[in-house]
Each structure stands twice: as structure tokens, then as C-alpha cells.
Amino acid sequence: MKIGAEQASLLPDSAAVFASALSLWHACHQHANGEEPLKLSECYNGVDQFMREVMRVANQFEAWACLHIDFNTLGDVWPYLLEDKFGESCLAVIRPSALAEFDDTDCLRVSMHLRLPILLDDKLPVPVNETALNPVSGSPFRKFRIQTVRNSSDEESPSPYSSDDDPFDEEFGFPYFGLYGVAEDELLEHIADRATYREAVSLVCKLAPGVQFPITPTVSYMCPSVPK
């Protein structure tokens, strides 16, 4: 599957599954032979069970990626990328002794660690930060921004939600979308909050007919702060 070319199919790629499994296998063994030695065979009641878990993780991630990754905007060969980076990214979010616990939430965490272009999904806490020029002349706002924010249990004001944050941090609620006007001096003014990206786009289109926001954005890996 070439990245950057039109994706012909959303079916899992066996080469990508193999690359992920190989990368994870090597990363786990490298970690097990590191400063804190770990006997993987004992963690999984045998090497054969460890192999099954590695394959399960690789298959699950590939199936998840086919649903949520915009392959057309990547710039490398998908299996090669996974072979080089998947294992280490996986172990950045889960212990090598706990592969049996790997689930779809970890697929999102690993994808964000790999900085993959994850498509916005209302059911997933995908961080978004989109800016569009204001086509309306004479407006105090040069641009508009739609950005994911979320509230913590002990804060009254929202905090920006970015790719550097844990998407499933229990201290925060599910992200929503703040609409901001961007002045000539780049200062932001909060306009409104909406539960979904589509609702935020609908509102800004009423305020500034002709404004152009992407229909389905991907995760943003640069997320500036929002005004208090």
C-alpha cells in the first residue's frame, strides 16, 4: 500500500500486519533484554502464546487503521513505516508484558504517537485544530478557528485538547469543539461551543457564508492555546 497514492481498498493489508508484528516482536525482545530483564515466555505462559498476542495486536491495529487513517495523505510505504516504528510506538503506550490488554483505545494512542493522519470521528476523541480565512469583508475577524477543547473535573474553563494529551485521560471529559474568531493581531475571541465538528462548521457558515472548512479533517499535531 503506497502512501500518497489513491487508496484502492480499505481491506487489511497482510504485509502491514506482518510488518507490525515483526516490529513489535523485536521491540518486546529488545525491551526484555534491557536494563530491567523480562522473561516474555513467563508473562504469556510460553513463547507460542506471546506470538499469538503479537499477531492479535498487529491484526487489530491494521483493521482499526483501515477504518480511521487517511492513507492518501501519508508520505511513505505503509508496511515500511510500521516495520520501522510500530513496535516502539506500541510499547510507548503499553507494557510488553501486557499485550493481552491491547484494545481499540490503544490503537488511537499508538496512531497519535506515530503522528498518523487520523480522520475525525464523532465517536473518537480526535484532536482537531482547523483555521479558515473569513471571506466577509469588514469583519473584525480575519480568520475563524475550530479547535477541540475539554473540561477537567476541577477546572471551570476549557483546556485545549491536542495530540500531546492522553485521549482517554480520566481527569477530562469527552472533547467538544470551540469556535473562535481570529483578529488581525492573531488574538482569539471565543464565539461558541458545539458538541460536534459538523455543528461548529454549520454555525461558522451562517456567520461567514462562503467560509471553507474541510468536511472531514484529520488530527492536528499543532494545537495552540485557547484564550481564557
The whole-angstrom separation of Cα 116 and Cα 132 is 22
Largest CA-CA distance found in the chain, in angstroms, rounded: 70
pLDDT digits (tens, 9 = 90+) for 55-92: 999 999 999 999 999 998 888 899 999 999 999 999 99
The pTM of this model reads 0.86
Counting as low any pLDDT under 50, the low residues of the chain are 1-9, 227-228
Q: What is the pLDDT of residue 34?
A: 73
Rg of the chain's alpha carbons, rounded to an integer?
Answer: 21
Q: What is the pLDDT of residue 96?
A: 93
pLDDT digits (tens, 9 = 90+) for 86-120: 999 999 999 999 999 999 999 999 999 999 999 99
Q: Where are the domains of the chain?
A: 14-113, 129-207
Q: What is the pLDDT of residue 4?
A: 34
182 touches 131 (CB < 8 A) = yes
The whole-angstrom separation of Cα 155 and Cα 140 is 30
Contacts of 212 (CB under 8 A, 6+ apart): 132, 133, 135
